[in-house]
Every structure is written in structure tokens, then in C-alpha cells.
Structure 1
Amino acid sequence: MTKEQASAAVELCFGEPLPDGTFRQWKSRGRIHPATPGGSLYFLSDVLALAAVRARHKLEVASKPKPPPKPRASPSRPPKGADNAHWKGDEAGYHAVHYRLRRMIGRPNECSCCGTRDEGSRYDWALNWEGNPTVQDGPHGQYSTNLDDYVRMCRPCHRQMDARHARDIEFGRCG
């Protein structure tokens, strides 16, 4: 057996040739061979034949052109917006409306109230109470399904505006 044959056998069959003409296999298909603690013994001629078959198969697989991708039966993404079967329109909930805002307009990155654009600040979509929005009550508070009723605000301005609105409601200044 030549050195090339021995190295091919070692590489393809995960083992080592022994001086007595046998071959000790350490692994079988990537895992430790459980049959014996030291591996399994095979005749070297069988291992060389197996190595030749594996090498030939490797060449055949590498030389075959890949088939073109099959066309998909359905689109890879479901339709968006009103074309989607699960679209709720004005019946959408608080979280759905905020998700819709982020998807259609984007995440806020500046405050329309104080004008800050600091990257370290947190920004929210806030319901603009001054524009008299049409609101719905939900378990997370009042919200509107009209995306034009929201403005970008930093977290401190958003909290101040919501507190001011809550005081207005408490003292009967809101209709």
C-alpha cells in the first residue's frame, strides 16, 4: 500500500492502517464507533475499495451541475396591508397599530416636541391629543387606528403630554 492510499483511507474512512494488513476505524459517519472501545477492525483491502468508491462518488457529485431552483407554488411572503386575509383595519388593537406604525412609517428617531435627535434617547409614537384624534379604549390605554394621529416624541415629552392629558380629563377640560 502506498502512502497516498493510506492517507486517502485515513481521510475517507476515519481510521488508521495497521502493520498486519488490517484497518482500525475510529468513527463511523462522523460519530465514535460504539462496537469496541478502540474502534472496529476491517481488512485493509476492503477499506481501500471503500475509499476508492467514496472518492469516485465525491468526484461525481462535484461534477454534476446543480438543478435550477424549483419555482415556489406560493409567494414567499404573505400580502401586506388590506390584501392580507388577517387584516383587521379599524378593528386592530393597540399593539397591532403600533406595529403598523413602525412598519409603514418607521421607528421614530427625533422628537417633534423638543426637537432632540440624540441617539442615546428613546423615542415613541405618541397619540397627538391636540389634533382631536378618534380614539378607542383598550386594555393598554387609548389609541387610534389612524396613523396620522401619531407624532414622534422622546420618552420624557411623551410622558409629560400623557400626564397633561390625564389631568385635563380629570378636571373635565376634554370633551
Structure 2
Amino acid sequence: MSTILGDSLIYEDSVRLVIKSQDIELEKITTILTAIDLSSNDFEGVILKALKDLGSLWILNLSDNNLRGDIPMEMGQLNMLEVLDLYWNHLTGKSPQELTKLNPRVSQFNTFENNSYGGNFDLCGPPLSNHCGTSDPSHVPHPLESEEEDESYFASGFT
């Protein structure tokens, strides 16, 4: 099903969801704004590289979970992404330069302050002021399981 407003197509498709044993039909899904909010779900594991396949994604909220590991550089392939919320996780490693090159309107990832990445104490690199390789040498990073195991563990919350 599609709805035309003026000369532009803004609604397309419908989807059927089952949330907490309730069957919900969502009709007229907008193509103007595509958002996923997975915040506050206690998800564990790494951020899925497969998120790069969501090319029309504008907003992605993964805040307040237990995600760990690096931010995948593949996230830089989300050309439409305007909001990425990773606040309060356990992310580590260098912030991917690919994110700073995203340019939906302006290079906004370069404008984020350190508090935008709060709770990810081991995350480093631009646009953060925390430079990589300068952390406390007594701090030992959490050992990571294989990436495939972590991704399948994260994805198991969707089955």
C-alpha cells in the first residue's frame, strides 16, 4: 500500500509485529524517517556489522545496553544516518573514522562532545578527546569472545 502526498511518495508497505504476545499490524510505514530504538534492553555482545545493510536508516538508538567491543567501521556505510545514540554501553577501541565522514547534511559526528559517548570509558579516537593508546596501562580490557558468537548472541534477542 502506498500513499502519495503532493508529488512525493511518503508511505509504503505495512508490517505485522508480535510484541509481548500481542499481534500488531502497522500500516502506512513512512519512508521519510526510518528509526530503530533498541535502547534500555540489556542487549549484550557486539554491535552487529549487518546494521550496515539498513541503508535508509536515519536514527539508531542503542543506548543503555551492555554492548561491548568496537563500533564497527561498517556503520560508516549508513549514508542516511543522522542520529546514532551509543550512550552508556561498554564500547572499547577506536571510534571509526568512517563515522566522521558521514555527511547527511553536515559532518555532524565531528561535532559531538565527549558526553555523547558517556559510559563507554574505553572508547577512543576522534571525535573524542581521549586519544587511543593513552589509557591507564593497569586497565586490562575485557576479553572478547569470537565476533560471530557475539553477533549471534546479540541477535538471539530478536528470535
Instruction: Please report the TM-score for the alignment, with normalisation by the length of structure 1.
Output: 0.20
Which protein, 1 or 2, shows the higher relative CO under an 8 Å CA cutoff with sep ≥ 6?
2
Instruction: Please report the TM-score for the alignment, with normalisation by the length of structure 2.
Output: 0.21
The structure with the greater share of residues assigned to strand is 2
The structure with the greater share of residues assigned to helix is 1
